Structure 1
């Protein structure tokens, strides 16, 4: 894996996740931009493995994103008191930093992230993106 691939995946995560937050919440925080880039870089590395299925990718991605969200949340919200987010009112939350509903959202968000990873790989390897769902002629 080339540094250029990792940098491009970081930038895609940085901008795409920022856009998701702005569309859904109306604003974002600079730490979320960096976190989105970091997460996409990890997802790119995970999805570069040939044995990675869509379900494995989503499950592992959701688990990793939730763990990263907890770490960033403890730093941003508890230590620094920046109040970037608060899941205290969400069901099954832990310290108001992570919760089951958002872990499920991360699972679903890993589907388009996987598509982006496949296209990044195809762009840098000069080959056609491997389809996630087999294409059946009509």
Structure 2
């Protein structure tokens, strides 16, 4: 079933992702950066759209796609923030299997695990935004 997403529902997910990611980063690191707030919002909208477009019973594939999406966003923002602008928002250079210090395999695994509850929230919200006729 293909769903038509209304602007307010995508805005709701953007705000939820922006708030949740910023809060998570503040709890874990003690601070965040405004670009991470925007990245968290974009990631949440992306996860919601992945969930809506995915065939039923593909949760592991959804989580893999979600982790790759978040990693791609993190790399793009990291290159812009850290390498181009020199803001030094984060540096994964000391992490194993990192790429230019902007992304690393352990965090991609963390994003995979965080996609599990995120897709559960997407499912609940989808039912609220698109109740069965």
What TM-score do the two structures reach when normalised by structure 2?
A: 0.91
Unaligned runs of 5+ in 2: none
Which of 80, 83, 89 aligns to 1:84? It is 89
Q: Using the alignment, how far apart are the partners of 1:60 and 1:126 within structure 2?
A: 26
CA distance in 1, matches of 2:44, 2:68: 14
Distance 2:87 2:23 in 1: 20
Q: Find the partner of 1:72 among 69, 73, 77.
A: 77
Q: 2:122 aligns with which of 106, 117, 123?
A: 117
Asked if 2 retains the 8 angstrom alpha-carbon contact of 1:43 and 1:61, the reply is yes
Correspondence for 2:102: 97
Contact conserved, 1:9 with 1:120, CA < 8 A, in 2?
no
The alignment's TM-score, normalised by the length of structure 1, stands at: 0.88
Cα distance in 1 for residues equivalent to 2:54 and 2:91: 37
Q: Does 1:15 align with 2:19?
A: yes
**Residue 108 (1) aligns with residue 113 (2):** yes
Other structure's SS at 1:78 match:
helix
Number of aligned residue pairs: 127
Which of 26, 29, 33 in structure 1 is aligned with 2:33? Answer: 29
Task: Flag structure 1 segments of 5+ consecutive residues without an equivalent.
Answer: 128-138
Rounded to whole Å, the distance in 1 between the matches of 2:123 and 2:81 is 31
Q: What CA RMSD, in Å, does the superposition of the two structures yield over aligned residues?
A: 1.1
Within-5 A mapping of 1:49-68: 49-52=53-56, 53-68=58-73
For 1:3 and 1:118, the matched residues in 2 are separated by 18
